[in-house]
A and B are shown apart, each in its own frame.
Chain A
Amino acid sequence: MRRFFTLFGRELGSAFHQPLAYVVLFFFLVVTGFNFHAGVSLLNRDAGTTTMVEAFFNTVYFWFPFILVFPLITMRVFAEESKLGTIETLMTAPVRDGQVVFAKYFGALFFYLILWAPSLLYFVTFQSVTSMNAAGAVGSYVGAYAMLVLIGMLYTALGCLASALTDNQIVAAVIAFAAVLFLFFLGLLSLFMPGAGPALRDLTYYFSPVEHMMDFSRGIFDTRPVVFYVSSTLLVLFATFHVFQYRRWKA
């Protein structure tokens, strides 16, 4: 366990040693800040039953940076290590392959969570300024942030798999971006094909992050998305582990 935390600490440390982390953090805050502003003006124009939390987590301004950030976070995790050759010193230290894969994955996931942490302040600010409730109930917060973590788990895993596939960070980012985008738009298929009927919508609900977020940010809890995200994350991590091992042994 000590080795896992050593590796995990290194992963997180290396993210903040490079300017990339700060650039991503900065622009992420700019975009989410703008998203918050858009949410507030939406409520100003048309105060229906929508709460602030719903308005924040269900806009284009939310989804756009959300999707874009995964390739940026994950592209370096394995690709940089093989490019620098440090994979050789890393894997000749007495550490298990699994420890390395998990430490790298959780390092990236943790960084993703750090990105979202400031967004909690928006709601605190909202409540103290407007003295209104930002969410209908606590379940709204719990649901929205739980979904943020769940979707993040899968997409980070996809990014890690992409990074394990190649030595080139750009290639890793492109593969990750394509995979995340594909999964995201697959969930929106029923929107593009309104004629296909309710059967398609039922099917795409299983992997549509937009629909999941819509439900969860209202405080509606559904086990289906939870099972989907947890199991597919494990599947992708399993694949990552094997790709990582295969590429080393083939080298």
Chain B
Amino acid sequence: MPANIPLPGALSRPIWVTAALQPSGLEISLKGFPMVTVEQLTKRYGSATAVDAIDFEVSKGEIVGFLGPNGAGKSTTMRMLSGFLPPTSGRAEVAGCDVFSESLRAREHIGYLPENVPLYPDMRVQEFLRYRAALKGVPGRRMNERVGDVLELCGLVDVGKKIIGRLSKGYRQRVGLADAMVHEPDLLILDEPTIGLDPNQIRLVRDLIRNLKRHHTILLSTHILSEVEMLCSRVIIINKGKIEAMDTPQNLRSRLGAAGHILFEAKVPDPRLAAAELRKLDGILGAGTRVDGEWTIFTIRPAADADPREAIYELAVSRQWPVRELSRSAVSLEQVFAEVTHAEEL
């Protein structure tokens, strides 16, 4: 190509130079690659609708938490994604393969851990993992390496030769996790991975999941909110088969941040008069009182986007009320969850 033909600026550079000049753009385009795409996915059992036309996307490298009360449709959605149940209507794609029409190819990308962790009680741990690895197409020459890796990763090396039926619940859970990731799937679907475990075991499983996020995209369901806050980069709140909210845990919390109340504890001569004075301040919608010995505890509801703590402090100083606490409580995901799933009851 003669050098003097003018070319549009971007094209005149080789592609790799363009890419190198826009590192952030490149990163985003790789990270944004959708691992899971769900469109209008619906599952009906007779007249009951378990999952009602949900849409969502999970990008590569994300940990997405599926949150909802029991019977919200979490497990049904996960079963459809893993190719176990066919959807009534709508479609879902995993790593670019339709989970229904290209089910086998989609399943190769998925490691699925069902809620009750079904295992063969008559097999030994290692034997079971080798069987599952072979079934999922791990080639013979990589078998020892893969099984050894997941045994180590899940802390199962000591029980590799034990019969699964004799293992404790915590170990079984880890065998299930090891099974889910033995074929190095791109996507891990974990249905309530910490249910029925004691606090120590829960911590171990959570640490495990946190370590996995470097190599896998993870979709996990739970009804434990703190788990979502600890693990997930994004939360999908689902209730009665519908998606109620979908955001990062931080955004969800700040979206309802205004609902957080202010706690103010002071020694006041007359709690009722003091409460009336507080209500007169700008940005305060209401104040409740509770007496604790000589102290009065005020629970103050601020207006949206208002932070009247400074005004409260100045009022206390001018009235010479001794203060022992003035704080604003952060909204927990518990409140967010209650808000979106039982809005009518609040």
Contact = CB atoms under 8 A, between A and B. Distances in A.
B114 interface: yes
Most A CB contacts (10 A, CB to CB) among B79, B84, B112, B137 go to B84
B253 interface: no
Contacts of A127: none
Contacts of A119: none
Contact of A93 (B116, B118, B135): B135
B85 interface: yes
Interface of A is mostly: helix
A89 B131 contact: no
Interface in B122-146: 122-123, 131-132, 134-137
Contacts of B119: 84, 86
A251 interface: yes
Given A84-B120, A94-B137, 11 more contacts: A6-B134, A17-B122, A84-B118, A88-B84, A89-B112, A91-B83, A92-B82, A93-B107, A94-B108, A94-B136, A95-B104
B135 A6 contact: yes
A93 B84 contact: no
B271 interface: no
B86 interface: yes
A91 B84 contact: yes
A85 B107 contact: no
Contacts of B220: none
Interface in B78-121: 79, 82-86, 104-105, 107-108, 110, 112, 114, 116, 118-121
B120 A92 contact: no
Interface in A140-173: none
A7 interface: yes
A95 B85 CA distance: 15
A88 B120 CA distance: 12
Interface of B is mostly: loop
A85 B86 contact: no
Most B CB contacts (10 A, CB to CB) among A10, A84, A248 go to A10
B139 to A, nearest CB: 9
A14 interface: yes
User: Which 5 A-B residue pairings sit nearest by Cβ, starting from the closest?
Assistant: A85-B118, A17-B122, A86-B118, A94-B107, A6-B134
A17 B120 CA distance: 11
A223 interface: no
B293 to A, nearest CB: 56
A96 B104 CA distance: 7
A3 B135 contact: yes
B71 to A, nearest CB: 16
B265 interface: no
B123 to A, nearest CB: 7
Interface in A74-124: 84-96
